[in-house]
Amino acid sequence: EAGVTQFPSHSVIEKGQTVTLRCDPISGHDNLYWYRRVMGKEIKFLLHFVKESKQDESGMPNNRFLAERTGGTYSTLKVQPAELEDSGVYFCASSQLAGYGNEQFFGPGTRLTVL
């Protein structure tokens, strides 16, 4: 069974540019999560999809971030325009169910550097 995949693995862009990150969850997993780790800080929740619907987007930093999950399969996270503080590692995770005890499986992350 293929795991969670993310693309690209690394992205270096200049301030003001746009970047789109992609996540492909494990097949059959309705729940998809985005997290971010900024250097020296804890991993922070960004948002949670159930199928194509946003269940919780309380962690999205601001309106420069747009997440989509068309068709309830893969998800994209677009940052436009990127700022220096957006640098970090963006992780995607998926789970079959979302209740207590259901394991979230993580992708390898996308390391975003904004110069």
Partner 1 sequence: QKEVEQNSGPLSVPEGAIASLNCTYSDRGSQSFFWYRQYSGKSPELIMSIYSNGDKEDGRFTAQLNKASQYVSLLIRDSQPSDSATYLCAVPRGAGNNRKLIWGLGTSLAVNP
Which residues are bridge partners to 75 per DSSP? 23
Q: Which of 55, 76, 87, 113 binds partner 1 (CB under 8 A)?
A: 55
CA distances, 38 to each of 3, 29, 30, 80, 110 (Å): 24, 26, 27, 18, 12
Continuous segment of H or E residues that includes residue 45: strand 43-50
- SS3 assignment, position 72: helix
Cβ–Cβ < 8 Å for 36, 44: yes
Interaction residues for partner 1, span 15-54 (CB under 8 A): 31, 33, 35, 41-45, 48, 50
Contact code string over 76-95 relative to partner 1, x by CB under 8 A: ---------------x----
Shortest distance in whole angstroms from residue 64 CB to partner 1: 21
Mark the segment that binds partner 1 (CB under 8 A) among 18-26, 60-68, 69-77, 105-113: 105-113
Binding site for partner 1 (CB under 8 A): 4, 31, 33, 35, 41-45, 48, 50, 55-56, 59, 91, 97-109
